[in-house]
Amino acid sequence: MKILYGVQATGNGHITRARSMSSELKKATIETDYIFTGRAPEKLFDMEPFGDFRCFRGLTFATHKGRIQRLKTVTSNNIFQFMRDVARLDLSLYDLIITDFEPVTAWSAILQKKPSISIGHQYAFRYNIPAPSGDPIARLIIKTFAPAQQSFGVHWHHFDSPILPPMIEPVHSTPVSIPNKILVYLPFCEIEDILNWLLEVRDHNFFIYCDIPTAKAFGNFRLQPFSRNGFLDDLATCSGLITNAGFELICEAMQLGKKILAIPLHGQMEQVANAMALEKLEIADVIQKFDREPLAQWLAKPSVAPRRFPNVAAALVRWIQSGMRESADNMAKALWAQTVID
């Protein structure tokens, strides 16, 4: 079997899921090629697991100061280039197409009538999960952006639907937290705004990952360039995480038992829905802007219990190898039964 795997690279969460799947696909000796879209190739980092991958422009969204810019999103995307890439992508060598909300591979598979499956958080929105009402355009985009013949949504809870647990690599050691060490990852916010918000906090050390070439340190701040390994080390040893309301990073923090303060990206329906789910499930504190009082209240809170998720990637690879016959409902029930809150 030979697989083509498309990954939406606008955020790192899709890439994190693909890393989990790539590890299990290699163990199963399934030959896999990868395509990444939505981010310039020079902005990708730590991509060794994906071998000689390819990049297309794809489709993405524009942001400024923590908000989606809808008009700029429309004008900055090249729909004609996207259509050309879809038409020209040759899938004749592949037996199966997998897409993690990546539209070039998804639509190429539909046009060329290739077997396809989709894996990702966005596909959970097909079910009755916490989500804002009154934005039919956003719902239509999520539904049609990267479709496939068989879809698997992942979420922090099943919500009585055939939704799978989060797809992250299992933790094999006991997490260690350094008191007052806070990891900050807010890629859609301006670094000046972040620093102004945190500046008056003197009794915590903030490790802030941002788009800089080399590390900088001043006072109780450590500004770090993007690095997968360095980031994971700081996530494993921090006592808390401040981030947007994306999906995958919060999964990793949950599994390590880190308290979370989430700031949803305004205007993006998925992150607004995630914030609603976080509050409903009492997983994280949620704020809408850089307020100092809720920050102080969150910093004073204790750690939380880790959540141990099963190896969803391994289960999906076994499902592929067995002919993709088991229903999503049966798979979801079996996997949620293996989820443990310490």
What sign does the dihedral 65-70-75-78 (CA atoms) show? positive
pLDDT of residue 293: 96
Report d(CA 123, CA 120) in Å as an integer.
6
With bands split at pLDDT 50, 70 and 90, how would you rate the model's confidence at 296?
very high
Length of the chain: 342
62 pLDDT band, cuts 50/70/90, is low
Distance (Å, rounded) from C-alpha 188 to C-alpha 64?
Answer: 7
pLDDT at 67 over 90: no
Cα–Cα dist 330/175, whole Å: 31
Which position has the token pair 């797809």? Answer: 167
| Sign of the four-CA dihedral 257, 335, 313, 121 | negative
User: In CATH, what is the architecture of 181-299?
Assistant: 3-Layer(aba) Sandwich (3.40)
Domain layout of the chain by residue ranges: 2-168+310-341, 181-299
> What is the structure's pLDDT at 13?
86
**In this model, does residue 66 exceed pLDDT 60?**
no
Instruction: Give the pLDDT score at 69.
Output: 60
Query: Quick check: 180 and 195 in contact, CB under 8 A?
Result: no
Lowest-pLDDT range of 76-85, 207-216, 298-307: 76-85
pLDDT band at 202 (very low <50, low <70, confident <90, very high): very high
pLDDT average, residue stretch 92-110: 97
Q: What integer is the mean pLDDT of 161-167?
A: 96
Q: Which two tokens stand for residue 207?
A: 């490790």
* Segment holding 34, helix H or strand E: strand 31-37
pLDDT for 107 equals 97
232-249: pLDDT as tens digits: 999 999 999 999 999 999
Q: For residue 10, give every residue at least 6 positions away whose Cβ sits within 8 Å of its Cβ, in sequence order, or none.
A: 38, 39, 60, 61
The residue type of 277 is: A
Give this prediction's pTM: 0.90
Eight-state DSSP code of residue 41:
G
Query: What sign for the dihedral angle of Cα 281, 282, 283, 286?
Result: positive
Rounded Cα gap, residues 90 and 100, in angstroms: 19
The reply to whether 2-168+310-341 and 181-299 are identical in fold is yes
Regarding predicted confidence, which is higher, 70 or 258? 258
Helical (H) or strand (E) element with 16: helix 12-27
What percent of the chain clears pLDDT 90, i.e. is strictly above it?
Answer: 77
Max intra-chain CA distance, the chain: 59
The DSSP secondary-structure symbol of 134 reads S
Contacts of residue 209, Cβ cutoff 8 Å, sequence gap at least 6: 183, 184, 185, 187, 224, 225, 226, 227, 231, 234
Strand segments, DSSP code E, in 200-279 are 205-209, 216-218, 221-224, 240-244, 259-263
Q: Are 117 and 101 in contact (CB under 8 A)?
A: no
Residue type, 103: P
Strand 216-218 relative to strand 205-209: parallel, antiparallel, unpaired?
A: unpaired
Q: Long-range contacts for 62-65 (Cβ within 8 Å, ≥24 apart)?
A: 63/188, 63/265, 65/189, 65/190, 65/193
* Residue 135 pLDDT exceeds 90: no
Fold of 2-168+310-341: Rossmann fold (3.40.50)
Point out the least confidently predicted range of 130-144, 149-163, 327-341.
130-144
Q: Mean pLDDT for the chain?
A: 92
